[in-house]
Each structure stands twice: as C-alpha cells, then as structure tokens.
Amino acid sequence: MRRIIFSISLLFLLVFSDSAFAQKPQWIFGGRFGISIASGGGGSAAGLQIGPMAEYKFNRNMGVGTEFNINTQSGTPIEWADYFKYYFDIPGSNVKPYANAGFSLWIFTGGPYFAIRFGGGANFKVAPKIYIPADLQLGPIFASGTSVFYFAITSGIRYEL
C-alpha cells in the first residue's frame, strides 16, 4: 500500500511540478459590468449586473477565482460565484481566451439557491497588466420548485498584480 501511495505521489509531483510551479503565482483583481438574463418558471427578466472579482492564477494557464455580482432584476438577485479558469495559449498574441466552470450561490426572494455556471471569454490587453474582458456566463439555478436558467454577457476591467 505504501508503494502505491508513494508511486502516485511521485507521479503527481513529476507531472505537475513543471507546470504548476514554473511561474510565480499572481493575483488578478477587477470588476464586471454587463447584462444578465434569468428565465424560468414561465417568465424571464433582464437586468444589469455589476460586481467585483478576484482571481488567483497559480500557473500561466490555470487559476481559481471568486465574484460577487449584484443584478437589477426583480428581487435584486445577488450571486457569489467561485470558479476554476483555464487560459488557452495563443503565441504572439495579446488576447488571452479562457474557459471556466464552477458553482455559485444565489440570494433572492425565497432563500439562497445553488447554481452551476460555465462560460468563457477573452481578456484583451490594453496596457501592461491591464485587461478588458469579454465574458459570457450561463447555467442553471436550482430554485425551489423550478429551475431558472441564467445567462450573462459582461465586460469590465482586470489588473494583474
């Protein structure tokens, strides 16, 4: 049993040591602003979405982040989202496309609700360490008695420390 654990640990270390520790970890801070649409239960509502974000990029292609978004639909839904993000490489480009997935907690009339979110987009470099994102997020919100589908198109600003 010890040999199996040692072998798996050694394999994990060999596979991830080159990519996971090759770059100094960095923080990214910013905010988002855009349009959000929620539909379900026989209706839909559109509104604005605004909120801060923070992300910890632990190598050049992967990071984890969190967002706190306020929406202007009826009941003023608030979303706290956590996600894993993967950045794709485009050699010689100032554009950083990405895909992300994670979970979120929605607070609006009736109680807190669990959601799954996926999405993607691209960060466009406008200055050293400053990016403007084009972002698309979607996924189901599991509300009591029904499911609501969430869709958001946002932009904002990102600053790498």
Q: Is the pLDDT assigned to residue 15 strictly greater than 70?
A: no
Across 104-116, b (16+ Cβ under 10 Å) vs e yields: bebebeeeebebe
Strand partners, 83: 65, 102
- Label residue 3 by pLDDT band (50, 70, 90): low
Rounded-to-integer distance, Cα 95 and Cα 131, Å: 9
Q: Is the pLDDT assigned to residue 16 strictly greater than 80?
A: no
User: Which overall architecture, per CATH, does domain 24-160 show?
Assistant: Beta Barrel (2.40)
Among residues 155, 65, 129, which one has the least CA distance to residue 101? 65
Strand partners, 122: 97, 134
* Domain extents in the chain: 24-160
pLDDT (tens digit per residue) in 117-155: 999 999 999 999 999 999 999 999 998 888 889 999 999
- Label residue 99 by pLDDT band (50, 70, 90): very high
Where are the extended beta strands (E) located within 24-145? 26-40, 43-57, 62-71, 78-87, 95-108, 111-127, 130-143
Q: Is the pLDDT assigned to residue 42 strictly greater than 50?
A: yes
Between these two residues, 38 and 13, which has the higher pLDDT value? 38
Rounded-to-integer distance, Cα 81 and Cα 53, Å: 9
